[in-house]
Structure 1
Amino acid sequence: MTTLEAGKIVGAGLDRVDAPLKVTGTAQYPNDFSFPGMAHAALVRSTIAAGRIHSIDVTEALAAPGVLTVITHLTAPKLERGPMTLLGGSPAAPLQDDRILHYGQHVAVVVAESAEEARHAASLVRVQYEAAEALLDVDDPRAEIVVNPWGLDTERGDVAAGFAQADVVVEGTFTTPDNTNNPLGLMSTVAYWHGDSLTVHDSTQWPHNVRTSLATVFGIPESGIRVLAPFVGGGFGAGLRMWPHVILTVLAAREVNRPVKLVLTRPEMFTSVGHRPNSVQQIKIGATRDGDLVAIEHHGISSVAMEDDDYEPVSVCSAVSYACPNVLTRDRQARLNIPCPGSMRAPAEGQGNFALESAIDEVAYAVGLDPLEFRLRNYAEQHPILNLPWSSKALRECYLEGAERFGWSRRTPEPGSMRDGRGLVGYGLAGVSYPFYQVPCQARASVRRDGSAYVRSAATDIGTGTYTVMTQLAAELLGLDVTRVRFDLGDSDMPYAPQAGGSGLTGALGNAVHTACRRLVREFLDVVRDDAQSPLRGAADDDVTVTDGRIHRVGDPVQGESYVDILARHGLEELSADGRSTPPRSDDLGMAMAGAFGAKFVEVRIDPDLGLLRVARVVSAIDGGRILNEKTATSQIVGGTVGGISQAMFEETATDQGTGRIANATFGDYLMPVNADVRDMDVIFVGGPDRATAVGTKGVGEIGLVGLAAAIGNAVHHATGRRIRSLPITIDQLML
């Protein structure tokens, strides 16, 4: 049967199949849906970070034009908290009591005939508070500390003994700030009830999670809920959890017995849909004079909300990145009066890699080795904890081919030694990885009587290209032209799919589609197994392949027939088959499951008088397993590179320490790179398919961002001699 070994469709840089809908404005995002009699909701948010609501007066708001209702903690029904998910617990249900746990917390929702009327009425809700002193700093001694919250702390060897034998020890404290996801599309929800049944259009990266969570919160069967998200205006992780505003929209729709739409404003996005939490990391690394690592100790503490359990083990990357015999990693969380954090592109790794790869660079300088040579010397040929070979690992090739493409050999080793006129030039690099992540997934494939295929799963495409790569994959496995395959997603009524996040969807969904398509070909063989008119009579799976809409015997294209002929002769309108993927296990396969690897090379230019930093060029060498579409995969790495530049040089969600208010919650104040900040970006893919799964992908969504902050910081050190240990890198740090 067809395999992907010599595919002509998979891997090709096919244009996005959903592009015509997007460029013509006909792709419908959640905010685009309207229904007869639809009302609009607006939020009222807390103006303190900690305390209680003393009183809340909605009289004036209820009297405002167009207002249908105002729901507060005094009138809201009892709601259950959402369930535990693959990404942790659900945020608490809103409007359940008078407590205030963070600035911007939803304290009321106003429903009116129009969005403008709802927003105006929301401004008329009068809330009096009993404020308490807020906890806003991870170093605050009053903060509750959660130790090893996810059970991922590691220890191997004897770290103290390792440091005792080290000739060189480097240690330092690295800090990363809060960042806010800020996808271009504002998060939106439209909800309407039909009796006891519910339909929700939502900006989610995980429709099944929204369905399951709403069923728990409102105490209704999942079978009565349908969640739709065929197009999502970006996410970067903001759509991975079901946030309280979704619950409020559903509640409002039930209260007024009409469809209700709620669209978050940009300032509300900063407090309503998560953020990358800040971190303080202490890292200590010991090495011999020859450049062999002997000990790594990495401690991280990050912020978490008062009643939440966001997943950010920032130190874990140090446990598996290098062949070091003595390693200890520890993570803690400090409970603060902040909005719930959540995943933001490359969660945990984006922060942890900055500390690790900056410190690794510092050790390389201390022992007098080229930073590239130092990393190659300490390369982990097998998984350092499991002591198993990787299912695939081309990081060495990433280093070597990336260095060649970048021109690393032109680097002179002394900091400050490379100039362009008065401008300082710096070269920096970082080794990167992102953990293996796959969870179960399902898909269904059908071939219809006209010879076209329809494949579907309840996944989402947040701009990564899922529509396109799954169309390509199904087309190749079924032997059809891509124009004859339709792939649909974003509907919780379709077969189960996990979240679009963690660089795991393409692998999980791809393997489910692979299984579904192979089973579908087998269904056709079963139909003709005893068919005397069929040249495929009695054929087994391994006897056949598929091309041009036909199943035929291997090596003999004449001995076969088309899907159309088989269906017509047997009076069938279509045949369908379901596929399921199960994540591979290291214990079963005898090898360590490998995520993506990469090497990032950066050239910076610095004006020493103005402290002005520019990234002149970036080369990203990536081992992402099998690349299903080189164009969309390259786009993912380029997008991640922009995000990495942004993390390194621009982004910082600034919280006022006196009030807990986010001081820069607009695009006018929250800095992000523009086109002039993003120069020459080059992407190369190395390695090949991962051997742990049939499709062989490893994901490229997260790996594009990881390492940019460290590589830029390392390049800044090479240019100036200054070691930057806090993000973002700002002008005042570079004034010479």
Structure 2
Amino acid sequence: MTTLEDPTRTVIGDGVDRVDAPLKTTGAAHYPNDHTYPGMVHAALVGSTIAAGRIRSIDASEAQHAPGVLTVITHLTAPQLERGPMTLLGPSPPAPMQDDRILHYGQHIAVVVADSPEQARHAASLIKVEYEPAEALLDIDDPRAEILDNPWGLDTERGDVTAGFAQAAVVVEERYTTPDNTNNPLGLFTTIASWHGDSVTVHDSTQWPHNVRTSLAQIFQIPESGVRVLAPFVGGGFGAGLRVWSHTILTAMAAREIKRPVKLVLTRPQMFTSVGHRPNSVQHVKIGATATGDLTAIEHRANSSVAMEDDDYEPVAAGSAVAYDCPNALTRDRQTRLNIPCPGSMRAPAEGQGNFALESAIDEVAHALGMDPLELRLRNYAEHNPVLGLPWSSKALRECYTLGAERFGWSRRTPGIGSMRDGDWLIGYGMAGVSYPFYQVPCQARASVRRDGSAYVTSAATDIGTGTYTVMTQLAAECLGLDLTKVRFDLGDSDMPYSPQAGGSGLTGALANAVHMACGNLVKEFLEIVRDDDASPLRGATAEEVTASGGRLHRTDAPDQGEAYTDVLNRHGLEELSADGRSTPPDPQKLGMATAGAFGAKFVEVRIDPHLGLLRVTRVVSAIDGGRILNEKTASSQIIGGTVGGISQAMFEATATDAGTGRIANATFGDYLMPVNADIPDMEVIFCGGPDRATAVGTKGVGEIGLVGIAAAIGNAVHHATGRRLRDLPFTIDQLLL
């Protein structure tokens, strides 16, 4: 059959338009908030106004008698629930409203159900709560807080870092901090739950329908077959939809109690306390190097915050263990338990924070040595995975450095601090080397060809705007030899074959390999049908001997000997033929190589007005090794979107928590700063390298890598322009006034 290396292929890699664009631009794409059911009612949440303590009393009598109210559920009336299961991303968050304890500000302490959303919100405001406050732990440096050392078992150590620093001519040791950031997808998270006996149908703003299915089944002690989760379109996520949050559970709880469909839409302030956030971090990085720029030791210690009874996964320092060819390296991660809402993944989790510290410190080493920052990185390039000692399955980072520098014009950079000017503006050039770890887990897909010659391919994935609908349509069309218009790819339904989450830059790889196998197995099914068919030119042919093109299979060495899928189906009286495929993650030891995630190099130009403290990013070049690129247009869009997120992380975003109450003080779009069009410069994306050797399709994922390194590159450019080393995100005017 046609392979992905076939030079005659026509659609893989092409920057075709999104197949779901007509639905979205015409308003025909139904998001969770767009659905309705006969007799559907509405829910509103009540959040705690203290960060720690207990509920002394809760009076819902006035709310229960308010117009349109059907029920009010509190911890006093809520059923006992099981905690959700262990997932690929760690344990589920705690079940909601199970006792009177308050663990963070905004914690859901009541849910009101009424005929209309307005009635539900009004009734929620009538609930009276008396608290027994306790002193909240809100500061990551609070000595009273519980510390979790090496919570994920990912700390690393090789060589002898003490000896390595003793050998160094230059040692840089600094502290870097990153704040809480909040995901803030445009679409407010919505859940609709409708029970039918012991079965429930749920529309949810999730990036992982199967996780919602598994979790609700365990929480409510019903079979997984009794839960159907639908999320064909999601209004953004950035990681916020990866966990099953309490509002989803409470919606299902309320719907079961009143035996009517219930819809719950979070408010924007509730999005800041209900669906995770990027946890803040305090990082200490120490790097030693010889006078010629050879790294002798890297030590990276990171502390990030976590909620009181949660187990969020965020190994901030781990990436430093494999970033450079350094004989002595130590990484340590720990977490501090605080009275904060449960954190969760936010685009480029862990690496988004850890790379800022590492790549800022690398730049500081280069400055101390008087060496070009690009030269220092190339000198310490890791040809092999430093932890496993195995060659990478692919790595084009050197090419990223070279082509990115050429396209950016790095050679025009003069090394002196403040040496580049345009009138009153100081100009700075900065860069960063970046990577994002390989992530791939099992996935399943099903492919069918119908008597009308069309193909239908499914998997229970989600498309949060990344282009999954489109690239999987392209891949299936390529594998089956069909025109794009003849292929329909559907997703977002937990009744479809199992898919992991849309996150961690792992979905495209896992799903693409499953789709590739399903299509390959479907070709084999067609060949099996005609194996003894005297009427078929393909009689006795094997998959290795045929090519799929033009809606037909033909012998590769004799293109005239073949027939259309439709002919086979018609002759054998079949309406359609289907086959399943599954992908499994590769084993590095069996491969004899280290599985590689994406790599890249980021180059940034900034301009600074030293009198006003104004910082403007004026150019960004991102050179990316993302393995095989299935669609250059959607992949470039991912890098551009990630770059905007990186600029936002560097210069704007910080979730502000009031130190006295634990209340988030900027939980609106009017107060939480994010960039607008005027803040975003010209951006150029270059793809380097080729297919990764670890998997059949050869993709590596580009969803996270676009954000990683932007903050460090901007900070390094600021230093080049001003001589000021900014080690605390975000970079603000007061840090830049000279």
How far residue 153 of structure 1 moved from its aligned partner, in angstroms, is 0.1
How many angstroms apart in 2 are the aligned matches of 1:33 and 1:419?
A: 56
How many angstroms apart in 1 are the aligned matches of 2:487 and 2:320?
A: 44
Counterpart for residue 390 of structure 1: 392
CA RMSD of aligned residues (A): 0.4
How far residue 383 of structure 1 moved from its aligned partner, in angstroms, is 0.4
Q: What aligned pairs does 1:483-498 form with structure 2 within 5 A after superposition?
A: 483-498=485-500
Counterpart for residue 729 of structure 1: 731
Counterpart for residue 144 of structure 2: 142
Q: What aligned pairs does 1:315-714 form with structure 2 within 5 A after superposition?
A: 315-714=317-716
Segments of 5+ residues of structure 1 without an aligned counterpart are: none
How far residue 438 of structure 1 moved from its aligned partner, in angstroms, is 0.0
Task: State the SS of the aligned residue for 2:287.
Answer: strand
Identity of matched residues, %: 81
Counterpart for residue 10 of structure 1: 12
Counterpart for residue 207 of structure 1: 209
Task: State the SS of the aligned residue for 2:283.
Answer: strand
Equivalent pairs, count: 736
How far residue 702 of structure 1 moved from its aligned partner, in angstroms, is 0.2
AA at the equivalent of 2:506: G
How many angstroms apart in 1 are the aligned matches of 2:440 and 2:274?
A: 27
AA at the equivalent of 1:584: P
Q: 2:73 aligns with which of 71, 74, 83?
A: 71
Q: 1:129 aligns with which of 106, 131, 135?
A: 131
Counterpart for residue 113 of structure 1: 115
Segments of 5+ residues of structure 2 without an aligned counterpart are: none
How many angstroms apart in 1 are the aligned matches of 2:41 and 2:99?
A: 26
Say if 2:302 is the partner of 1:300: yes
Say if 2:262 is the partner of 1:280: no
Task: State the SS of the aligned residue for 1:236.
Answer: coil
CA displacement 1:195-239 (0-9 Å, x = unmatched): 111000000000000000000000000001100000000000000
How many angstroms apart in 2 are the aligned matches of 1:300 and 1:270?
A: 24
TM-score, scaled to structure 1:
1.00
AA at the equivalent of 2:63: A
Task: State the SS of the aligned residue for 2:78.
Answer: coil
CA displacement 1:577-617 (0-9 Å, x = unmatched): 00000100101100000000000000000011100000001
Task: State the SS of the aligned residue for 2:623.
Answer: strand
Q: 1:186 aligns with which of 185, 188, 194?
A: 188
How far residue 542 of structure 1 moved from its aligned partner, in angstroms, is 1.0
How many angstroms apart in 1 are the aligned matches of 2:387 and 2:681?
A: 39
How many angstroms apart in 1 are the aligned matches of 2:386 and 2:371?
A: 23
AA at the equivalent of 2:441: V
How many angstroms apart in 2 are the aligned matches of 1:376 and 1:585?
A: 29
How far residue 256 of structure 1 moved from its aligned partner, in angstroms, is 1.0
How many angstroms apart in 2 are the aligned matches of 1:289 and 1:593?
A: 33
How many angstroms apart in 2 are the aligned matches of 1:356 and 1:208?
A: 36
TM-score, scaled to structure 2:
1.00
CA displacement 1:75-120 (0-9 Å, x = unmatched): 0010000000000111111110000000000000000000000000
How many angstroms apart in 2 are the aligned matches of 1:198 and 1:673?
A: 40
How far residue 555 of structure 1 moved from its aligned partner, in angstroms, is 2.9
Q: 1:24 aligns with which of 13, 23, 26?
A: 26
AA at the equivalent of 1:220: I
How many angstroms apart in 1 are the aligned matches of 2:120 and 2:502?
A: 32
Task: State the SS of the aligned residue for 2:718.
Answer: helix
Task: State the SS of the aligned residue for 1:214.
Answer: helix
How many angstroms apart in 2 are the aligned matches of 1:614 and 1:96?
A: 49
How many angstroms apart in 1 are the aligned matches of 2:98 and 2:288?
A: 51
Say if 2:53 is the partner of 1:51: yes
How many angstroms apart in 1 are the aligned matches of 2:348 and 2:497?
A: 27
AA at the equivalent of 1:150: W
AA at the equivalent of 1:223: S
How many angstroms apart in 2 are the aligned matches of 1:532 and 1:8?
A: 32
How many angstroms apart in 2 are the aligned matches of 1:283 and 1:642?
A: 26
How many angstroms apart in 1 are the aligned matches of 2:25 and 2:133?
A: 49
Task: State the SS of the aligned residue for 1:473.
Answer: helix
How many angstroms apart in 2 are the aligned matches of 1:105 and 1:555?
A: 67
How many angstroms apart in 2 are the aligned matches of 1:597 and 1:228?
A: 34
AA at the equivalent of 1:679: P
Please list every run of at least 4 consecutive aligned residues from structure 1 whose deviation after the TM superposition is greater than 3 angstroms: none
CA displacement 1:133-154 (0-9 Å, x = unmatched): 0000111111000000000000
How many angstroms apart in 1 are the aligned matches of 2:578 and 2:64?
A: 54
How many angstroms apart in 2 are the aligned matches of 1:723 and 1:378?
A: 23
Task: State the SS of the aligned residue for 1:330.
Answer: strand
How many angstroms apart in 2 are the aligned matches of 1:208 and 1:671?
A: 34
How many angstroms apart in 1 are the aligned matches of 2:220 and 2:38?
A: 24
How far residue 445 of structure 1 moved from its aligned partner, in angstroms, is 0.1
